[in-house]
Each structure stands twice: as C-alpha cells, then as structure tokens.
Amino acid sequence: MVPPTPAPDSFAELDLLRALLEVGRPYFEAEVVCETECRGNRFPVHLVSLGSQDPAAPAIGLFAGIHGLERIGTQLLLDYMRSLLKRLEWDALLHLQLQSVRLLFMPIVNPAGMWAGRRANANGVDLMRNAPQDADGPVPFLAGGQRVGSWLPWYRGPAGGPMERESLALLQVVQERLQTRKLSFAVDCHSGYGWRDSIWFPYARTCTAMANLPEMYVIKTLFEQAHPHHGYAFEPQSHQYLAHGDLWDYAYDRTPAGHVFLPMTLELGSWLWIKKNPRQLFSRHGIFNPIKAHRTARVLRRHVSLFDFLARAAYAPQGWLPAGPAREAILREASEHWQAPTRRQWRQWR
Ligand SMILES: [Zn+2]
C-alpha cells in the first residue's frame, strides 16, 4: 500500500502538535497567532492555552522552536503538553492548580525554519537577534547578531526595518497574555550551547542587572531547595556573552510598572551529547539535538520538574514574592552572587 502523501507543510513536530490539539480539545484553547511562508508553503504559529480564565491569574508561557534546528526544545514542550493531558484525566490537584494559574504554550515559534531545517526563519533572520536594541558592549563576532546579510548566520534583519512576523507574534503574546498580570513567567527552550543545561535571564544586551534580580534569586533558591540535583547553571545571559536584539530583553524592558515578569531561557547544553557521540558533529541536526533515543528520553524527562515547579510558584506567590526590607537584603545577596564577571574572567571563558 502506498502511504498517504504528507501535506506540504508537514513535519513531525507540527503533526504531533496538531494531533495533541485534536485530542486535547476539551482542555486546550488553540489559536493561530500568525502565519509564515516558505517556498510556497504556509505554516501556522500556534498558541495553546489552558487553565484559569481570570485575566489577573498568574501565568506561565512556555516557548520553543524559535531556532528551527533546535527541535529538542519543541519536543520537550509537546511531551509536557501530552503529560498534562493525561494527568488531567485523573489529577484533581492539577485541576485545582489550573483554576488559579494560566498556562500558555507556543511550542513552534518558527515553523518555517523547522520545516526547512535551518536556525533562521524563511527570510533568513535569526529571531533571537531580531529586536531593535543593540548591546552596550562587545558581542561575539557574528554570533552576537550581524546586519551584513542573511547569507551569514545570526542575521538581525535590516536596520530600522520592522521585526519579523514570528517575533512580533511572540512579543504580542507576552505583552497581552503575560505582562498584563501581576506575576508571570516565560521559559524559552533552546539547545546547542554549553556543557551543561543553563537557565539564562535578562540581560543579553548589558552586564547591568535586571530590576527583578531579587525575584529571580528567590526562584533560583527555591528551585534548588526543591530539586537539589537539577544541575542548571542559573545566571544572567550576559555572564556568557552579550548579544544584540534579544527578544526577551526587549519584552522584559516593556513590563508594566509594578508587575513581575520573569523570562528565562532554558539552554540545553548539547556539547556533552556530542562528546558522548562525536559522529553527531557531522550532522547539522545532531549539533543541536541528542540523537540516541535514550539520550532524548533523558532530556525529555529532566526538565518537567522545572515546569511543574514554576506552576507551583505561580500558584502561591504570597509564599515567596519578596517585599520591603527583606527584598533589599535579598537584592544584596543576589548582587553578590551574580556579580558581573570581570573583563579578564570573561575573556578566559570565551
Ligand atoms: Zn536557540
């Protein structure tokens, strides 16, 4: 029998997302927030929401697939969505939690890039370098974002031009669905950088500390107390390198006064996967994704506790959000912990 011809816009992750939306119809609210095109094919950018309808309820946005090559982040979110659906069949505590918390999923921000097997979107723009702001210090050559042309990686798009559709769609979701609330989190899943898994937070454009350093520090501390063996390096992105045009910097700087919005980038360290399986280096896909099945399973398993933890933190903000003199003390501790690296340290690391 001849297998049915897949739809022209079909790829494994998008097909899985569509299947999840079908099965999850009783729980998921699904919408298409923008469409992109590549070589005559159209691709939807899906937003999936569930949980509290209260516009003031704390919310968590989970994002992935901004870089089309980094499929493991998308698979991680699809896997989490699938596990939530199964738990919703029986888990009364999860139902209770979702009465007070909203979850948003944007698991394939750059579907055209994923379909084409490239980091950039269909216009050759690296969406994570696409916001207009410049870094206030030296950035790594090319990788910090460049405007030479889309034929080189890390292209920011033309100077003064509008941001790409996918970037605008993501920022609109953040602005209208997350930052309108007193408390919200974002986790954006990437892969390909570093020996270990990292959680980065703003800024990428400067070594100056973000205004919510105390809140970020409390989240880090609580998470480490709850999961002492998680092994994330938790730090401002600027401790690794500076970059132009980071969408999370841009979004964070537009948080309304008095609201707490904590964006995090989950960077899955793939260099270890390559060390364990050097043949991966010969495949572009392999640099960004664990190839052996058991390694993929381990990655998918490892990060569920972070998502569950954030949902609990969102459920009980009165239990941990710092205020008054206590916040001042935490700020001092956090500033000491995350001292900006000296120029010499920074050069050594790179
Ligand atoms: Zn990435």
How far, in Å, from the CA of 23 to the mean position of ligand 1?
A: 29
How far, in Å, from the CA of 135 to the mean position of ligand 1?
A: 18
> What are the Cα distances from residue 228, in Å, to 222, 224, 233, 306?
10, 5, 12, 12
How far, in Å, from the CA of 191 to the mean position of ligand 1?
A: 6
CATH homologous superfamily of 12-349:
Zn peptidases (3.40.630.10)
pLDDT tens digits, one per residue of 180-216: 999 999 999 999 877 788 999 999 999 999 999 999 9
SS3 assignment, position 263: strand
**Cα 191 from chain centroid (whole Å):** 10
How far, in Å, from the CA of 92 to the mean position of ligand 1?
A: 35
Closest C-alpha to 117, from 232, 13, 210, 18: 13
Q: What is the pLDDT of residue 6?
A: 57
Q: Taking phi first (over 0 means left), then psi (-120 to 50 degrees means alpha), and beta for anything else, what does residue 115 get? A: alpha
Enter the tokens of residue 88. Answer: 């919703």
How far, in Å, from the CA of 5 to the mean position of ligand 1?
A: 31
How sure is the predictor about 230, in pLDDT bands with cuts at 50, 70 and 90? confident
SS3 assignment, position 22: helix
How far, in Å, from the CA of 119 to the mean position of ligand 1?
A: 8
How far, in Å, from the CA of 144 to the mean position of ligand 1?
A: 12
**Cα 78 from chain centroid (whole Å):** 13
How far is it, in rounded angstroms, from Cα 183 to Cα 115? 34
How sure is the predictor about 296, in pLDDT bands with cuts at 50, 70 and 90? confident
In contact, 73 and 189? CB cutoff 8 Å = yes
How far, in Å, from the CA of 116 to the mean position of ligand 1?
A: 16
Phi then psi for residue 234, to 5 deg, are -115, 110
SS3 assignment, position 13: helix
Q: b vs e for 184-217, b when ≥16 Cβ sit within 10 Å of the residue's Cβ?
A: bbbbbbbbbbbeebbbbbbbbbbbebbebbbbbb
Say what percent of the chain tops pLDDT 70. Answer: 87
Enter the tokens of residue 85. Answer: 């659906």
How far, in Å, from the CA of 192 to the mean position of ligand 1?
A: 7
How far, in Å, from the CA of 221 to the mean position of ligand 1?
A: 25
How far, in Å, from the CA of 110 to the mean position of ligand 1?
A: 11
Q: Where are the strands (E) in the chain, listed by range?
A: 29-38, 41-51, 59-64, 102-106, 183-191, 198-201, 233-236, 260-268
How far, in Å, from the CA of 190 to the mean position of ligand 1?
A: 4
Residues in the chain: 350
- Among the listed ranges 45-59, 272-286, 295-309, 328-342, which one has the minimum average pLDDT value? 272-286
Pick the residue with more confidence: 9 or 121?
A: 121
- Among the listed ranges 113-117, 266-270, 293-297, which one has the minimum average pLDDT value? 293-297
DSSP letter for 146, please: B
How sure is the predictor about 286, in pLDDT bands with cuts at 50, 70 and 90? low
State the pTM of this model: 0.92
Say which amino acid occupies 348: Q
How far, in Å, from the CA of 94 to the mean position of ligand 1?
A: 30
How sure is the predictor about 302, in pLDDT bands with cuts at 50, 70 and 90? confident
How far is it, in rounded angstroms, from Cα 153 to Cα 147? 10
Say which amino acid occupies 204: A
How far, in Å, from the CA of 39 to the mean position of ligand 1?
A: 23
Enter the tokens of residue 23. Answer: 């099965």
SS3 assignment, position 198: strand
4 pLDDT more than 60: no
How far, in Å, from the CA of 327 to the mean position of ligand 1?
A: 33
150 pLDDT more than 90: yes
SS3 assignment, position 234: strand
How far, in Å, from the CA of 56 to the mean position of ligand 1?
A: 31
pLDDT tens digits, one per residue of 109-129: 999 999 999 999 999 999 999
Closest C-alpha to 167, from 133, 141, 129, 137: 129
> What are the Cα distances from residue 91, in Å, to 24, 95, 96, 102, 233?
15, 7, 9, 17, 32
How far, in Å, from the CA of 100 to the mean position of ligand 1?
A: 31
Say which amino acid occupies 157: G
How far, in Å, from the CA of 265 to the mean position of ligand 1?
A: 9
The residues facing 34 across adjacent strands are 45
